[in-house]
Structure 1
Amino acid sequence: MTRPGPAARYALGAALVAVPLLLAALGPFVAGPAGSRTVSFDPAAGPLGSDFAGRDVLRQLLLGGRSVVLVALAATALGYLVAVPIGLAAALTRRTWLEEALMRPLDVLLAVPSLLLVLLVAATLAPGPAGLTVLVAVAAVPDAARVVHATATEIAARPAVEALRMQGESWARTALGYVAVSMRRTLAADAGIRLTGALYLVATAAFLGVGVAPDTADWAVMVDRNRPGLFLQPWAVVLPALLVAALSMGVNLLFDAALRTPPPTAPSKGDRT
């Protein structure tokens, strides 16, 4: 049995990602006003029944994706904005003390489980998406910085980097113009893993009530709060869980397909006109 090629992975990944992203982006605009509440876990109340508070499950699904998706995307981007400069600076410096000063504190953070770090810091912060974004980004920085550092260290040993230094090129041009560009495929592979981790960390934090109110419209909160009625009204639990899983799987398939596509090669002398 042959494995699916990049085109099939792109198609499947795009299909899996499209539904939760569209719901997160457009759902609040079509959800409409809140109707009157009915009996909890009533399968006949609305197209998908009612949730633990008697609210329409379909409306909660339309409203609940923005917090999970936007926080995960923002946290991943913020984590890389911090991790990439740290990793590049540690890899390209010729001062051992500076490399140690940049990387060793991250090893301390790595010793603390991400969820425990979120719970400890969240205890001192007011709940809200901004604080949760920062917490998840902080949890992602140590791993991402180590990946950047390891990859950039190998690239920094190439003769091309030494040639750039001898020509007097600036640090920014060497680090961003050559090293960062050379490691883009590694960063793409890591970004898929990092975004998936952010999704599950955001969902788990919301599941535990960290960063969001316990009755807010959020897919992870829906899974948590509607568990008691799973066998009475399963859609309130199953659908939000499937949406989070579909987004995670789809993102990884898209990144995997991108990595399996060979990079363009320069034309040979015989092909040039």
Structure 2
Amino acid sequence: MVPALLVGIPLGLALLGPLFAGAPGGHAQSFTPPGPGHWLGTDFTGRDVWRQVLLGGRSVVLTALAATLLTYVLALPIGFAAALTHRRWLDDLLTRPLDVLLGVPSLLFILLVATVRSPGPVGFVLVVALVNLPDAVRIIRAAAAHAASRPAVEALRLQGESWPRIAFGYLGRSVTRSLAADVGTRLTGVLYLVATAAFLGVGVAPDAADWAVMVDRNRTGLFIQPWAVVVPALLIVALAMGGNLILDSTLRRRAARGRPR
């Protein structure tokens, strides 16, 4: 129940919040404490914090979900190809360039890209996915390597089965548990990476309605009007924690069902 609430509240606000935000009201004094007309007070420019919370989740949540999904869309075929190949040069060709990228800190890579050209929303999702790609490929390759060495794979090849059927059909089932465990930690990492980048002004406008931007821009008034910082920060943390708890409980239930067999 608790994990569902931790995920449901920020996710519901991110997806449905803009529908209930209403029209912007007049600007009040900056860092006004909660009161009539402003349930959570006002931010550094005098905007209503509650309205900014309703508007600010969509960019963070959708960007993190899209970047995580794109990471696995790119990583699965590369990881399966590296696990299935018998040619060392092909394995090196697939994995060594990614190892080079793995040595560059994620946030530093995003900042370097931003200095060359400011990425739009789609470009920012692609950059975040590329940053996470090397680690995801290594995990998928390692999880699929044992299954790829079994005689069943050679039997499927002799039967004329296609590569996608062997990779995504047979190997896909073997990496399900490892992939499910990785999704939780990866989504959390992507969420914090997107929030940190937005905190530094990368990927979103500095005055955008965004939870991470709210934390950044309102931190100067933390001790005057803390709700403008605490509420968006708690929503980001709740979404990350809730997602991990749900995936962990799902893996435990699946392990318990499979133990007697």
Q: Same fold (TM over 0.5)?
A: yes
Partner residue in 2 for 1:179: 171
1:211-260 deviation digits (Å, cap 9, x = unpaired): 11111000000000000100110000000000000000001001101111
1:221 and 2:210 aligned: no
Partner residue in 2 for 1:129: 121
Partner residue in 2 for 1:23: 13
Partner residue in 1 for 2:30: 40
Task: Measure, in 1, the Cα distance between the counterparts of 2:39 and 2:86.
Answer: 64
Q: What amino acid is the match of 2:180? A: A
Partner residue in 2 for 1:107: 99
Consecutive aligned runs of 4 or more in structure 1 exceeding 6 Å deviation: none
The question of whether the paired residues in 1 share the 8 Å contact of 2:143 and 2:174 is answered with no
Q: What amino acid is the match of 1:175? A: A
| SS in structure 1 at match of 2:225 | coil
Task: Measure, in 2, the Cα distance between the counterparts of 1:54 and 1:154.
Answer: 59
| SS in structure 2 at match of 1:177 | helix
Partner residue in 2 for 1:50: 42
Partner residue in 1 for 2:132: 140
1:85 CA drift (Å): 0.6
Q: What amino acid is the match of 1:87? A: G
1:182-222 deviation digits (Å, cap 9, x = unpaired): 21111011111111110000000000000111110000000
Q: What amino acid is the match of 2:191? A: L
**Aligned mate of 1:196, from 188, 191, 210:** 188
1:10-45 deviation digits (Å, cap 9, x = unpaired): x22211000000000110000001000011101045
CA RMSD of aligned residues (A): 1.6
Q: What amino acid is the match of 1:40? A: S
1:152 CA drift (Å): 1.0
Task: Measure, in 2, the Cα distance between the counterparts of 1:103 and 1:115.
Answer: 21
**Aligned mate of 2:65, from 50, 55, 73:** 73
1:172 CA drift (Å): 1.2
1:159 CA drift (Å): 2.3
1:50 CA drift (Å): 0.3
Partner residue in 2 for 1:85: 77
1:75-122 deviation digits (Å, cap 9, x = unpaired): 000011111111000110111110100000010000000000111112
1:134 CA drift (Å): 1.1
Number of aligned positions between the proteins: 258
1:211 and 2:203 aligned: yes
1:167 CA drift (Å): 2.0
| SS in structure 2 at match of 1:35 | coil
Partner residue in 2 for 1:119: 111
Task: Measure, in 2, the Cα distance between the counterparts of 1:192 and 1:262.
Answer: 16
Q: What amino acid is the match of 1:241? A: A
Partner residue in 2 for 1:3: none
Task: Measure, in 1, the Cα distance between the counterparts of 2:2 and 2:171.
Answer: 32
Q: What amino acid is the match of 2:139? A: V
Task: Measure, in 2, the Cα distance between the counterparts of 1:44 and 1:98.
Answer: 61
Task: Measure, in 1, the Cα distance between the counterparts of 2:153 and 2:2.
Answer: 39
> What TM-score does the superposition give when structure 2 sets the normalisation length?
0.95
- Segments of structure 2 that go 5 or more residues without pairing to the other structure are none
